[in-house]
Chains A and B, each alone.
Chain A
């Protein structure tokens, strides 16, 4: 019996705003517990929520990017549950009329484009964070009230790779639009993963298991693989009854999923419309303004790099992988670097260096302007390609301008005809046997002479000129 995995994702991402979604507390990550908390975030009596316009705007941007239908009237609901991370005893979220529904996008998985349908997108407030100790927990309310956008897919994803590709694509859209920094290191993204297995060809979905609060994409991948393996073993052993609708959590230490609770016992959240928040009418003019602010998104940029600049699919893919890389590339073009040359340097030298030292391109000393200052003398024949590569590393090591370093390390290419002729004459004089061999038809000796000249000039000789002069001298 062939089995097929069916995955649905819920991705929570903290939005980028100055203040929180319903209060004027700072929306910022702060190590000092309970330092960015207002009476609203603590649900002190008499406080009222005031909806942040920027949070709504960022949510609408995401809804537009995911081709969702956006309702004319926004409504917020109360999701009631009792837990220490929730100061009010309910979370303000959206259930009746979410900010986006019925979306659809295509995501690249390898060479294929796969469709993913979005069930809904809703804006809500984040909860406080809890640190658990042996027999007590500590509550830090800094995160309480941070605007959180939840994107819920249909069960339409059929591999762990596709799930991660979708999440990476979403993270990119957040960054490209500026709706969020989408930084997993700061815990700004958390995912719930729904996994079930069904028989290949069947139309009936299997029993769904939800793995909650997975906080990195690699763990999403690992959690799905683990669930596929666990559920497959149970089915093959004839124990499918043991796959029950339940909530599990990912355990980092054991790299397994662990049961939290059975779904049948899960809390009924008793959603109802929050009467403290007015119904909000979204004006068409505002939607038009928001739409105009959305920049070209990753896949569109990729297509334009391939069509306009003739980049390879691979190079274009590497460049659009992050907004920062893509912006770097576009800045290179703006200051006059040839697109293919910029792409070659970014995907090879620059990415290699950044990966080796675990750096981000926006904290990279070698700005597009400095790259231009390396490539310009290269293209004018003043330095060789070997020297350009050396200069690249010297700029990063010494943190000095390329122009200064070319002089400091005497890197200018030797292309004076008289000087080169003198050096070549000397080499031919010292290699008479090899010259005879060349003249007798051993033409590969030519490269030997070029190599000798490069050795003599410590790689500074202009190879084009060297070849020209050598050809004349060897006639």
Chain B
């Protein structure tokens, strides 16, 4: 069985991750996480699950040909590259500062 989620656990995680979170959001997350936990518990209960190798590639095929490094391409035009960015300053994306 996996560890129980509590309001304290969620607040502690939010604090570690520097997220501000209100009580409603804590309740919502608690519900979501309990649902996810029930699925994880169901998987954990499968017999010998620990010895099953994680499947990342469906077939045992190996690549031997890699991309040749014989040329490069021009960078994407700046207006296109930053089209989805909310704040731009001097060709760079502006984000809130998250380190001291």
Contact = CB atoms under 8 A, between A and B. Distances in A.
Interface of A: 17-19, 24-27, 32-39, 42, 50-56, 73, 82-84, 131-140, 265, 272-275, 278-281, 283
Interface string B67-100: 1111111111010011000000111111111110
B96 to A, nearest CB: 6
A42 to B, nearest CB: 7
Given A34-B78, A279-B57, A138 B69 contact: no
A265 B16 contact: yes
B91 A33 contact: yes
A24 B70 CA distance: 10
Interface residues of B, number: 34
Contacts, number: 118
B56 interface: yes
B46 interface: no
Contacts of B82: 34
Contacts of A275: 56-57
B92 A138 contact: yes
A287 to B, nearest CB: 12
B93 to A, nearest CB: 4
Given A138-B90, A278-B63, A24 B97 contact: no
A84 B95 contact: yes
Contacts of B76: 37-39, 42
A25 B66 contact: no
Question: When A and B form their complex, which 3 residue pairs have the shortest distance between CB atoms, in order from nearest?
Answer: A54-B69, A53-B66, A281-B62
Given A37-B75, A37-B81, A137-B98, A50 B67 contact: yes
A18 B66 contact: no
Contact of A34 (B62, B70, B92): B92
B61 A131 contact: no
B67 A53 contact: yes
A248 B82 CA distance: 33
Contacts of A27: 72
Contacts of B99: 132, 137
B71 A133 contact: no
Contacts of B96: 135-137
A283 B91 contact: no
Q: Is the contact region of chain B dominated by helix, strand, or loop, or is it mixed?
A: loop
A194 B85 CA distance: 37
B64 interface: yes
Nearest to B80: A39
Given A33-B91, A34-B81, A278-B57, A19 B97 contact: no
B54 interface: yes
B62 A279 contact: yes
B72 A279 contact: no
Q: Is the contact region of chain A dominated by helix, strand, or loop, or is it mixed?
A: loop
Contacts of A274: 56
Interface of B: 16-17, 54, 56-57, 61-64, 66-76, 78, 81-82, 89-99
16 contacts: A19-B73, A26-B74, A34-B81, A36-B75, A51-B67, A84-B98, A133-B97, A135-B96, A138-B94, A275-B57, A278-B57, A278-B61, A278-B62, A279-B62, A280-B64, A280-B66
A275 to B, nearest CB: 5
B89 A272 contact: no
Given A33-B90, A279-B63, A280-B63, A139 B73 contact: no
Given A25-B75, A37-B76, A53 B68 contact: yes
Contacts of A18: 69-72
B75 A34 contact: yes
A293 to B, nearest CB: 15
A32 B81 CA distance: 14
Contact of B95 (A50, A137, A265): A137
Given A34-B82, A279-B63, A26 B92 contact: no
Nearest to B16: A265
A403 B93 CA distance: 58
Contacts of B97: 132-137
Contacts of B69: 17-19, 52-55
A291 B6 CA distance: 56
Given A33-B92, A84-B98, A138-B90, A24 B78 contact: no
Contacts of A33: 90-92
A136 to B, nearest CB: 5
A73 B62 CA distance: 8
Contact of A26 (B64, B72, B94): B72
B94 A272 contact: no
Given A137-B95, A278-B61, 11 more contacts: A17-B69, A34-B81, A38-B76, A51-B66, A51-B67, A52-B69, A53-B68, A132-B99, A136-B94, A137-B98, A139-B95
A417 B78 CA distance: 77
A283 B64 contact: yes
Contacts of B68: 53-54
